[in-house]
Amino acid sequence: MKTRWTRRQVLAGATLAAATGITAGIGHNFSALANVTLGAETGRQKGGDALVVLFLRGGADGLNLVAPHGDDDYYRLRPTLALARPKDRRTPAACALDLDGFFGLHPALAPLHPLYKEGLFTVVHGVGSGDQSRSHFEAMATMERGLSQQSGAASGWLARHLQLTAGDFEPPLRAVSISETAPDSLRGATTVVSLTSLTEFRLKPPTDNEGKGLHPSDRTAAFTESLKSLYASAPSVVPPTQPHSISLPMPLEKIGQETLAAIEAVRRLDPAHYQPASNAKYPDTELGNGFRQVSCLLKGNVGMEVAFLDMQGWDTHIAQGRETGFHANVLGELGQTLSAFVADMGKEMQRVTVVVMTEFGRRAYENYSLGTDHGRASCLFLLGGGVVGGKVHGNWGGLAQDKLESPGDLKVTTDYRDVLAEVLLRRVKNPHAAEVFPEYTPHPLNIVRPA
């Protein structure tokens, strides 16, 4: 028995090495494998931040996330939805939490307020893309592909970032999407693992204990070995060249190998027993658990450079609510999750940048259903040790009738690519950050410090 166990150990290590391209010949240390330290030569370990991107789907209402309480037009356009001015005693629960005398956080985002003061959290207001369709799908596709209009490169901006910074080999968990389907932002990346729960990321034993007294894990291991050999064969189907093809962009066998390598890495992490630091309390929701797992992966040092998450529930056409209600609920979940993540990561936040973005903001005036329709600019959040704190960034476009963009939307005053490019260049240390955004020359904003 002992011999067999040892042999399997060696085999597993060797196959993982093969799957990830690690060989002694290209200068990597086999002993590193024992600690699951994959990706030792990639961007993150060279001093760049890990990048965590959260996409708020549906068009988050920037004017309710970070309210311009210093702008009288805000109160004219939103008689029922506007947050009260800070310290308005008539409606204490509905008061914006002041940031800079002009903007204030939604009260449900209170957990982020101290982080703003500590310089770990900041806001860029008036952010958006050039997309004029006000369609969720067009605007998301534009943004996730890093474009100003829909036409252009078909790959995602994060995928291009990963390609431009690829090292000698691709760590299996280099890019992780905490979702059921791979997002457009990562479309075209060679290594993306989509998962909703780390502990589920394993092969389940094919038999119970009935057969010949064998432990179930023996059969799982055997099955895994066989899968490794099946997915190691030459690609059966070559990726397509036709335009508009819906087929796979890369060989299936490669995807299988990445999946098997990731299973092995997660097995070694033991996520089931992960304890957040500093008593951090993540909400028991999809988003809260998503960030909890991102933290586990980051601390496990598995070579994850990019984590992508998304959150639904921002398409507030109806009964959006003010300090309570539908919108306040999702904001509460967002604020608690982000503050738990910062607490859990502790000093590690110096090496992490979190970007929270959305496809567009919402119309400046509220609609008859006490909600808001699709608009243009929204705001964007940045968290991490590298943010330039103490102020709300961006140029305020104003809400006066002649300042709004037809049919009544806050103008985009900061192109979202300026923000992303600066984060990639200064924090993630991608020297080719500008190439991530084709046919665009990003403008420096000074919203993050060089790492």
**Positions in 386-445 near other proteins (CB under 8 A):** 407
Place of tokens 């166990």: 5
Q: To the nearest whole angstrom, how small is the minimum distance from the Cβ of residue 203 to other proteins?
A: 6
233 binds other proteins (CB under 8 A): yes
Q: To the nearest whole angstrom, how small is the minimum distance from the Cβ of residue 356 to other proteins?
A: 19
Q: Which residues 145-204 are close enough to bind other proteins by CB under 8 A?
A: 177, 180-182, 187-188, 192-197, 200-204
Count CB-CB contacts under 10 A for residue 11: 13
Contact assessment for residue 220 and residue 199, using Cβ atoms and an 8 Å cutoff: no
Q: To the nearest whole angstrom, how small is the minimum distance from the Cβ of residue 142 to other proteins?
A: 12
List 86, 130, 256, 271, residue binding other proteins (CB under 8 A): 256
Per-residue H/E/C for 206-233: CCCCCCCCCCHHHHHHHHHHHHHHHCCC
List 236, 275, 441, 446, residue binding other proteins (CB under 8 A): 236
Q: Which residues 2-41 are close enough to bind other proteins by CB under 8 A?
A: none
Return the number of the residue (320 or 353) whose C-beta is nearest other proteins.
Answer: 320
Q: To the nearest whole angstrom, how small is the minimum distance from the Cβ of residue 281 to other proteins?
A: 14
Q: To the nearest whole angstrom, how small is the minimum distance from the Cβ of residue 427 to other proteins?
A: 26
Q: To the nearest whole angstrom, how small is the minimum distance from the Cβ of residue 245 to other proteins?
A: 5
Pair of tokens at residue 388? 């330039």
List 1, 24, 368, 402, residue binding other proteins (CB under 8 A): 368
Q: To the nearest whole angstrom, how small is the minimum distance from the Cβ of residue 360 to other proteins?
A: 13
Instruction: Give the C-alpha separation, 361 to 374, whole Å.
Output: 7
List 12, 41, 135, 164, residue binding other proteins (CB under 8 A): 135
Q: Which residues 370-389 are close enough to bind other proteins by CB under 8 A?
A: 371, 373-374
Q: To the nearest whole angstrom, how small is the minimum distance from the Cβ of residue 317 to other proteins?
A: 5
- Total of residues contacting other proteins (CB under 8 A): 76
Count CB-CB contacts under 10 A for residue 413: 16
CA dihedral 441, 446, 447, 451 (to 10 degrees): 100
DSSP 362-395: B-SS--TTSS--B-S-EEEEEEETTB--SSEES-
Q: Which residues 308-327 are close enough to bind other proteins by CB under 8 A?
A: 312, 317-318
Q: Dihedrals φ, ψ of 344, to 5°?
A: -65, -45
> Looking at this protein, which amino acid is placed at residue 402?
D
Over the range 378-390, which residues count as b (16 or more CB within 10 Å of their CB) and which as e?
bbbbbbbbbbebe
Contact assessment for residue 131 and residue 140, using Cβ atoms and an 8 Å cutoff: no
Q: Which residues 338-367 are close enough to bind other proteins by CB under 8 A?
A: 367
Instruction: Give the C-alpha separation, 138 to 123, whole Å.
Output: 25
Q: To the nearest whole angstrom, how small is the minimum distance from the Cβ of residue 276 to other proteins?
A: 16
Contact assessment for residue 305 and residue 162, using Cβ atoms and an 8 Å cutoff: yes
246 binds other proteins (CB under 8 A): yes
Distance between the two ends of the chain, CA-based, in angstroms?
51
List 10, 26, 93, 214, residue binding other proteins (CB under 8 A): 214
List 26, 93, 237, 277, residue binding other proteins (CB under 8 A): 237
Count CB-CB contacts under 10 A for residue 12: 17
List 45, 163, 289, 413, residue binding other proteins (CB under 8 A): 289
Pair of tokens at residue 344? 């859990």
Return the number of the residue (154 or 445) whose C-beta is nearest other proteins.
Answer: 154
Q: Which residues 36-55 are close enough to bind other proteins by CB under 8 A?
A: none
Q: To the nearest whole angstrom, how small is the minimum distance from the Cβ of residue 332 to other proteins?
A: 14
